[in-house]
Structure 1
Amino acid sequence: MLTLLFYIFIAITAIQVIYFLIFGAFAFAKTKKSKQYDIPVSVLICAKNEAKNLETLLPELLQQSYKNFELVLINDASSDETLEIMKRFQKSTNNIKIVDVENNEAFWGNKKYALTLGIKAATNDFLVFTDADCVPTSKHWLTEMTQHFSSKKKIVIGYGAYAKKKNSFLNLLIRFETFMAAVQAFSYAKMGIPYTAVGRNLAYHRDEFYRVNGFVNHMKIRSGDDDLFIKDAATSKNTAICFSKNSFTISEPKTSFSKWFQQKRRHVSTSSHYKFIHKFLLGTFYLTQFLFWTIAIFLFCTSFWQMALLIFAFRISIQYFILGFASSKLKEQDTLYLLPILEIFLVIIHFGIFIANLTSKPTHWK
């Protein structure tokens, strides 16, 4: 039985190595731009009780170097001063449009319904999305994102990073998980099978939205305005990725484990609606990752420990090599300092999320 387990360990390690080689599709990718400049763009922000964050975000957006854009601010039935903040900024500039979703409308589809109203109200066909609780890392954010549009590329997936906090293991864990999720998303998109994006840094042409009937296919699922839309609309031909450092957005991460855990539960809950190929690829990766660590730790306590250690070291080396290049692209090199420890924590957390989501449904948009 021990020998059989050792051979299983070899097979699982081989699968893991194959996955990291797949991730090399992004790790060694080069930026390709269509060189389109100043196409008319509408930037959409859906906000619910985000008065404080809008005070920070809107000045940053208004200082973008991009010339030809409007801001579509969607007030999703807020109970704070969100609408008042939007109106105050609207008075000082001529490129802000406000969409006010009333309470009696908000029940139907919630955020997706509010976004749909915003998309319909947008003047321009090229749409760029971000969230109220994050900011672009550069005044060239819009320029970088829109330069990936072309006659064929109608969807652009960007990177939404989290702010770095010193001396915080939780912050390191959150950023490592976000980095790994982006590596997978970008890699699969490069391979022609895009499956997800983050709504805080996403762009697409209005035609792509109407081609798949917007959010209709998943309107009753309150989360998924980004990844489930990508599931319906993204193809190998119409999707581009943007990972230049000036194209990132940055958000404030959760400061408590419980809040972050609930956030991840919401995100993971939408994965059950992914296409079979994506569920299979993601599920196989996480399952073999769990088995790799579980069996490795067990074999280290047996007579096979030396051979198991060699195989373990080989897999870790490949992982460091591939993720090293990927982290350099996304400016997340420090997340690899404690790579084995962070990975073990994520394996445990993913298992906990799986169990928790089996027993109860997570809550969604505010």
Structure 2
Amino acid sequence: MTARIDLSEGLPDGMTLAGAFPGAHGTLVQAAPTVWVYTPATDFTGYDILHYQVHGPGGRQSAPITVHVTEPDHYPRLVPSRPLRANPAQLVLWHDTDVHGTYLRPPKTVPPAPPALQPPSKAVPYSQDIEFSTDPRTQQLVVHVDGKRRTAKRASSTRWTWNPGLRLAAGIHRITATSLTAGAKSAAYEADLRVLPAVCTPAQDAVCTPRPRLCGTSSPDGRCVTLLLNGEQVAHPTINPAGVWWHDFSRDLPPGPYELTVQHHSGYEEPVLRTFTVAQTSHPPLLVSPRRDAFPRCGEISGLAVDGSTHIQVTVDHTTATIPVEKIGWWSLTPHNAPKLFAVLNQEGQHTLHATTSTTAGQSAPTVKVLHTGRGL
């Protein structure tokens, strides 16, 4: 006699059947994708324990099935059991009971899978987000960098990120990460993370003044870097304990394109390349707003300056206002920082605007624009 066992019944969402294995006192033959037929051995009576495997968020796990054969040549009978159940926080396997209702073994909590660095190359640019792929059940990711605990933020159900900012110098760092759920924690993931050096200024393809500041990051192990402009060595700036180096030129660079090469002396970092252009000292500022000749009352005058400019001087008719240039090269005049200039601009009629850039090498040629202020309401 045989017993037909359908293992698809009671499986929760997200779990699939992986296989089934016979016990010590019978055979198990697969009759359908989720159906097995159990045949006890000849003249066998008593309890036989089969096993089946499921695949879910926690990986492959097994659970037993108890079969009771009462008399030879009688149909085997399945002992009443509880199916596998999943808890959102942890995967719990409820195992079958024997004929007396006693659990064959206690419930088992499946730990989450360990996290992993993404991308697996374990190399990231300076100050860029560091990503971890995690088990979907992860509720907290504990990250240690060089022995110090850091806070990671959840980006999605399977991804966590940590932004090192400027705290992680270029070089090799030891990363340890562990996933935590409500009832268990994963095995620790450990790896060496390589933070790549970078050139912070000038930006790629930037237009600079004749005395640009060169600044970047490197591994403090190298102690210094070698700077080459168009293949010729120009400086050996030292690296501070935070892994930052910089160099200021004592004289003007001729106008034209330049290729900066930064050579590191740590023994494991590749050279970093950057191209930029030194503009003429007469390079005028770019006027972004207003775009039209018509000027709205209480509007804004703003634009972009050559990288390295210090101040912008704007003259409307015979009234002048001077403001500093922000680090990103943006400048802006408003009624708050240039009230006298806007008192002239708000008068009805035609006005002539001159804007010049002030650098360490002097003033640029002016940008000229004629504005027309209409009658207010």
Structure number with the bigger relative contact order (C-alpha 8 A, sep ≥ 6) is: 1
TM-score exceeds 0.5 = no
Larger radius of gyration: 2
TM-score normalized by the length of structure 2? 0.22
Higher strand share: 2
User: Greater helix share, 1 or 2?
Assistant: 1
TM-score under structure 1 normalisation? 0.22
